[in-house]
Amino acid sequence: MSRNRRPSFLEFFAGGGMARLGLGEAWSCAFANDFDPVKAATYRDNFPDAEHFHEGDVWALAPSDLPRGASLAWASSPCQDFSLAGGRAGLKGGRSSAFFGFWRLIEAMGAEAPPLVVIENVSGLLTSHGGADFTALCAALARQGYRFGALEIDAAAFLPQSRPRVFVIATRLAPPAGLQGESPFHTRAVREAQGRLPADLAQGWIWWRGAAPPRRNADLASLLEPDAAAAWHSAERTERLLALMSPLHRARLAAAEASGERRVGAVFRRMRVEKGARVQRAEVRFDGLAGCLRTPRGGSSRQTLLVVDGGQVRSRLVSPREGARLMGLPEAYRLPAPATAALHVIGDGVAVPVVRWLSAGILEPIIEARPALAAE
C-alpha cells in the first residue's frame, strides 16, 4: 500500500496505541480515544502527533467529533464483562456497554461511516449469554449494511504468550475471493457461534482467512531480562508459592528439576474448588509460553516466573518491560514509570503482531481492491 496515499483509521478504546502500532505505517490515524488517564498519557508519550487523541468517555463523544473519510474503525471495547473471571454481563451490562457508546457513533455517521470495522474482544464474546450477545453484535453490523466474520486468534501463534482473542471483521466492500476460505483461526467456538446465527444473519457471514502466520521463533525465556538485573523473591516467598501447588503442578516442577536444564515456567495463582472448598493454587506451565497477561488488581493477579537452574528454584514477578515484549511492543515504547500503571496499560492491550497480520493479510488487501479508497 502506497505510503503517499495511506488510508486513515479511527481507533476507539485506544489504550496505549497498540492497534495503531500493529496497523503500522500503511495507515494514518485520524482519531483516537480512551477514557483512562494513564493510558491516555501513555498514548501521548509514544505518539507526539496525538492532537487527534480525545481523552474521555466514548459516550461523551458526538458524531461531529469524528473525521469523515476514514477507511477503518478499530474498537477494542472493554472486555471485563465477557471474561471468564468477570461477571459476563454481556453487551448490555456493566463496562461492556461501552461498545454501544462506540456503535451509536457509527450508526450516526450512516453512509459516511468507515467501510471497514474491526471489533476485538475476549473469546467469551462468542458464548456470552448462550451466544445471544454475539448474535446481537452481528445484527447491529447487518443493520448498518456490513457483512462480517470472526477469527479467534491466540497471540501464541506470534508471541510466547497464550492470549486468545476474537476479532470480528466487518465490511461494506466486496471482499476479494482470495480472502475467503478455511483458516486455523476458525476455531470450534467461532464455528459454533456462526452456526447459532439466524438464517438472515448467516447470509452476511464471511469466512475470513489470511496467509498462514510465520512460525514463532521465540519462547518465554528468550524475552527475559538477565538474571542479574531481576528482582528475585526471597527463598521463603518462593517456598510459600510452591506450597500452593497441587500434586499435578508439583510433578511438573519435579520434571523440570530432573531435566538438568535451565527451565522457565509461568505461574498464576487461582482459586479452585477441591472437595467442596475453595483453595488457592499456584499453577505452573513449562511450555515456553507465558499465561495471558492481566490488568493487575492485586498481588495474585501478577504473573510470576519460576526459574529452575543448577538445582535451584527461584521466583519473581514479570517486569513491565518483559510484559511489553510479550505484547510485541518495541523496546523504544515508553511505559509509565510505576510498574502497576505499566502493566495496566499492557494487560488491557492487543498483541501488536496479531494486528499486523490482520492488516497485511486482510484489511490492506480489501482497501487495495478498491483503488478509489486508497486516497482517503
Phi-psi bin for 342: left (phi > 0), alpha (psi -120 to 50), beta? Answer: alpha
N-to-C CA span, the chain: 13
R_g over Cα of the chain: 22
CB 11 within 8 A of CB 349: no
pLDDT in tens, the chain (376 residues): 544 579 999 999 999 999 999 999 999 999 999 999 999 999 999 998 888 999 999 999 999 999 999 999 999 987 544 433 334 455 555 444 788 889 999 999 999 999 999 999 999 999 988 998 899 899 999 999 999 999 999 999 999 999 999 999 999 999 998 999 999 999 999 999 999 999 999 999 999 998 889 899 999 999 999 999 999 999 999 999 999 999 999 999 999 999 999 999 999 988 999 999 999 999 999 999 999 998 766 545 679 999 999 889 999 999 999 999 999 999 999 999 999 999 999 999 999 999 999 999 999 999 998 754 433 4
Distances (CA, A) of 92 to 101, 107, 313: 11, 17, 46
Distance CA 201, CA 223 (A): 43
Distance CA 366, CA 376 (A): 14
List of domains in the chain: 3-214+346-375 (3.40.50.150), 226-318 (no CATH)
Give the DSSP per-residue string, 129-180: GGGHHHHHHHHHHHHTT-EEEEEEEEGGGTSSB--EEEEEEEESSPPPGGGB
For the sheet containing 312-317, what is the strand order?
277-285, 263-274, 304-309, 312-317
Distance CA 246, CA 281 (A): 7
> What is the 8-class DSSP label of residue 2?
-
How many of the other CB atoms lie within 10 Å of CB of 212? 11
Q: Which pairs from 327-330 meet CB under 8 Å and 24+ separation? A: 327/18, 327/155, 327/159, 327/161, 327/293, 327/351, 327/352, 328/22, 328/155, 328/158, 328/159, 328/352, 328/353, 328/354, 329/18, 329/21, 330/21
The candidate with the shortest Cα–Cα distance to 376, out of 137, 17, 44, 116, is 116
